[in-house]
Structure 1
Amino acid sequence: MEKHVWKWMFVSFLSIVLVLSACSSPSSDSGSSKEGEDKPVATTSDKPLAPLKEPATVVVAEDGSASGAGFYIAKEKGYFEEYGVKVKFVSFGNSDEMLPAVAAGEVDVAGGISSASFFNSIAQGIDIRMIADKGHNIKGDSYFSFVIRKDLQDEIKSYEDFKGKKVAVSTKNAVDDYIYQKMLEHAGLTRDDVEFVLMSDFGNMMSSMGTKTVDAALQIEPLITKGTDENIHVRFGDATDFAPKAQIAMVLGSPKFMDERREVAKRFMAAYLRGVRDYNDAFVKDKGNKQEIIEIMTKHTAVKDPKVWENVAVTGLNPNGEMFVDNIKEQYEFYKENGAIKGDLDIDKVVDLSLVKEVVDIIGKYE
């Protein structure tokens, strides 16, 4: 793939979740405006999660992020339709308009990534809820981890050997920076011991490795695999060595969706979790129809080569929707200690796992 395609792929990989710059107007690929959102919701029977009598539309801000797998799979396999839910995907450039749209109920569901910018938006009055997992590293197979130049394999044997080296990281005061900090603590190093190189473009990280202007990088899939195949870098350890429960991305819900449209939200979440379970069956348990899931991922994401999906480390998605809430709090405190947070925020009031708990009680727990 061309370099600019890889750059675009990363932006959509974390997508809306980066919440860092100016935003464009939303566009949609399917569906229509919300139907009956202010009317009582009727179902076809009294059974738990029976289909809605009249279809209801749920607007989802998602534009090709691999961590949106649960949405894509549920859509393609008819899980949303089964519950009488229509999904309308819209895309935003970033948070400047997306987050207020979620808070206002114009968008029901979106994705967010841990960053000082994200938390500041909430602290300054943007009312949204973190309602389910949308991205974490799978132990021993992180999709977001460190790589080192291939020619430095004999020189860098442990994280302690990062001392004096130039390490590229894509953000400051966001989850990348947090993971970098956890690596330093694990290695017994300080920020003065290692040269932090801020490099927002992951494709440029790979190029810089090739020209030997950086020694290591906190890289993301599928560029980890691509750079390894091209003999530019090698994977170094795993991010779960030092950050085993890092919450990278979260599903966000609007208060209106969670409260006023609860019956619709329950059915949406049930379909989403069923999609995530199919994803886990395919990529984690290596069972089920993996090729079908890969076809869905190639259709909806920027990674169009099925062979890539066979080889890369994939985003971790919890099949019961659970998040590492304590880690969300830890990351918030990290940004606050860095002076990047303006105002105070009670994370317990922002995280709302009531919907996933209610739905898992109905559809059963995935083991």
Structure 2
Amino acid sequence: MKKLAWFVVLFIGMISLVACQSKESSPSPAPSTGNELSPLEEPAKVVIAEDGSASGAGFYIAKDKGYFEKYNIEVEFATFGNSDEMLPAVASGEVDVAGGISSASFFNSIAQGIDVRFIADKGHNNEGSSYFTFVVREDLKDVIIDYSDIKGKKIAVSTKNGVDDYIYHEMLKHAGVSTDEVEFVLMSDFGNMMSAMGNQQIDLALQIEPLITQGENQGIHQRFGDATDYAPEAQIAMVLGSPNFLTERRDVAVRFMAAYLEAVRDYHDVFIKGIGDEAEIISIMANHTALKDEALWEQVGVTGLNPNGYIFEEDVKKQYEFYKENGAIQAELDFEQIIDMSLVEEAIEIIGTYEE
């Protein structure tokens, strides 16, 4: 009998040890808060202004994996020709959610009465693998090695008084080179930058994925350092929310944000942590964006998306001040009103904080 008792104790101990080892080898989920968010009693439609950009990953994954559906939310994607058309639609509530890219004209629209809120992160660079960074011409990669080597060179940037211009100036400051010591080349089309590189018309360019990787594969250019060397917290894009969505449809908005963050966490798991179902997430991204080559998704520097939703608030303000110093903005903005992380905070109370 004693032998039997000893065997039972040993058997239970072995099971416990195996369970612990299994737990340690699996990725840890976000801690549960003990709260649950029930589905809406009636289906609710949320209109998202999205044009198939890679930074919309959270929207696409939440839709295709049923995270919106779980909360009884139906999403509809709407496209606009430009931000001049899109921003008023968000402010009026015709569109509930959209993406905004930092620029002087963007901030001027808000200053002129277009009421939108910044409610979550929609794009920043990941350290060491920025999706929006400088490249150097292939034949100059052994000549332009250090940042100080850019002196006297022709550098293409896609916009003036936009986030591109801001990153360009941050790079110059990091290099210790003045604007008078380089030639700024305004080139609005990223594809044209590739051609200009091939024709040796420019020396460097602030380029974007997947063109960065495609240009490397074609022997046109190489990455030049990384944007996080000098602009580690550059907030490139934000999720915008309609004031009506945040107030009159708050119950829908909180559920929307919870679903969005769940999707962003799947994306972050795959592309940053190297865990999760890579094939599924890449398939979703290829389906919704212009980058259809699934193999290339394994090579590109992907858009950074914060799995906890927060934006780099101080950098947003820093960009605004940069545009003001350039004379591109005259009005004052109240960022305490414009930046609203309350939806993110409420969603995290439900789904827990994502741990790196």
Per the alignment, residue 96 of structure 1 pairs with 84
User: What is the deviation of 1:95?
Assistant: 1.6
Report the residue type matching 2:190 in the other structure: F
SS in structure 1 opposite 2:180? coil
CA distance in 2, matches of 1:366, 1:49: 17
SS in structure 1 opposite 2:179? coil
Consecutive unaligned residues in structure 2, runs of 5 or more:
1-34
| From 50, 55, 60, the counterpart of 1:62 | 50
Per the alignment, residue 323 of structure 2 pairs with 335
**Is the 1:49–1:266 contact (alpha carbons within 8 Å) kept by the matching residues of 2?**
no
Report the residue type matching 1:264 in the other structure: V
| From 293, 297, 301, the counterpart of 1:305 | 293
CA distance in 1, matches of 2:174, 2:86: 36
CA distance in 2, matches of 1:337, 1:87: 40
The answer to whether structure 1 residue 288 and structure 2 residue 240 are counterparts is no
Aligned pairs for 1:200-211 (under 5 A) are 200-211=188-199
Aligned pairs for 1:132-171 (under 5 A) are 132-171=120-159
Consecutive unaligned residues in structure 1, runs of 5 or more:
1-46
Q: Greater Rg, structure 1 or structure 2?
A: 2
User: What is the deviation of 1:348?
Assistant: 2.0
SS in structure 2 opposite 1:284? helix
CA distance in 1, matches of 2:337, 2:100: 16
| From 316, 331, 338, the counterpart of 2:304 | 316
CA distance in 2, matches of 1:214, 1:98: 33
User: What is the deviation of 1:362?
Assistant: 1.1
SS in structure 2 opposite 1:192? helix
Q: What's the RMSD between the two structures over aligned residues? A: 0.7
User: What is the deviation of 1:48?
Assistant: 3.6
The C-alpha deviation readout for 1:9-50, integer Å capped at 9, x for no partner, is xxxxxxxxxxxxxxxxxxxxxxxxxxxxxxxxxxxxxx6410
Per the alignment, residue 249 of structure 1 pairs with 237
CA distance in 2, matches of 1:120, 1:357: 28
| From 214, 220, 233, the counterpart of 2:202 | 214
Q: Give the structure with the higher percent helix.
A: 2
Provide TM-score, normalisation by structure 1.
0.87
User: What is the deviation of 1:85?
Assistant: 0.5
* Worse overlay, 67-76 or 343-352: 343-352
CA distance in 2, matches of 1:347, 1:52: 32
CA distance in 1, matches of 2:39, 2:337: 31
Aligned pairs for 1:1-367 (under 5 A) are 48-367=36-355
CA distance in 1, matches of 2:283, 2:89: 31
The C-alpha deviation readout for 1:247-283, integer Å capped at 9, x for no partner, is 0000000000001100000000000001100000111
Report the residue type matching 1:111 in the other structure: G
SS in structure 2 opposite 1:268? helix
User: What is the deviation of 1:147?
Assistant: 0.5
Using CA pairs below 8 Å that are at least 6 residues apart, which structure has the higher relative contact order?
2
Q: 4+ residue stretches of structure 1 with deviation over 6 A?
A: none
Report the residue type matching 2:96 in the other structure: D
**Is the 1:129–1:350 contact (alpha carbons within 8 Å) kept by the matching residues of 2?**
yes
SS in structure 2 opposite 1:306? coil
CA distance in 2, matches of 1:352, 1:341: 22
CA distance in 2, matches of 1:50, 1:288: 26
Per the alignment, residue 12 of structure 1 pairs with none
CA distance in 2, matches of 1:310, 1:339: 42
CA distance in 1, matches of 2:148, 2:337: 39
The C-alpha deviation readout for 1:298-330, integer Å capped at 9, x for no partner, is 110010010110110000000110100000000
SS in structure 1 opposite 2:239? strand
User: What is the deviation of 1:342?
Assistant: 3.1
Report the count of equivalent residues: 321
